[in-house]
Amino acid sequence: MRITDNMSEKFTKKFMKKLLGRKGIEDALGRLDKLTREEFQTAIAQVLKVTHDVEEGVKNVGEKVDGVDVKVDGVNVKIDDIDAKVQGIDDKVDVAIEGMLECVLYLINVIVKPYTTRRQGSKGSGATDGKRSQPFVSL
């Protein structure tokens, strides 16, 4: 029986090693599965954090763009005011030019026209003793 006991012992040791080995492999696979799940959860948490940070950044940019829009609207209002003032100045310059032209035309009609009319009427009479008089216009 010694051979049988020896065989039985060998078989038992071999079987126990297989069982323990399988158990060790199963435990290792279980630990690996657990670590893989934990790593996956950590990666998801990091992605969510980055996504949240990007979302906050986009919100901040949006707020700054809104602030720029408000400032641009303010500049547009000021430009419209300046445009209205320039138009008012342009209108005043037009009125001044028209008034000046009327004044010049009046002076021409009052001073120059009578002088040229007199000169044309006295051409053959010899009243100028050879000197030509120039009209004097003062404003």
pLDDT in tens, the chain (139 residues): 455 667 777 777 776 666 666 677 777 788 889 999 999 999 999 999 999 999 999 999 888 888 888 888 888 989 999 999 999 999 999 999 998 998 888 888 888 777 776 666 655 544 444 444 554 544 4
- Residue 51, both tokens: 């996504």
81 occurs within a structural domain: yes
> What range does the domain containing 59 cover?
2-117
- CB of 137 closer than 8 Å to CB of 112: yes
Per-residue pLDDT, 41:
95
Number of domains in the chain: 1
124 occurs within a structural domain: no
45 occurs within a structural domain: yes
The whole-angstrom distance between residue 72's C-alpha and the CA centroid of its chain comes to: 9
- CB of 86 closer than 8 Å to CB of 110: no
16 occurs within a structural domain: yes
Spell out a b/e string for 10-20, using b for 16 or more CB atoms within 10 Å of the CB, else e.
eeeeeeeeeee
131 occurs within a structural domain: no
138 occurs within a structural domain: no
34 occurs within a structural domain: yes
Distance between CA atoms of residues 100 and 103, nearest Å: 5
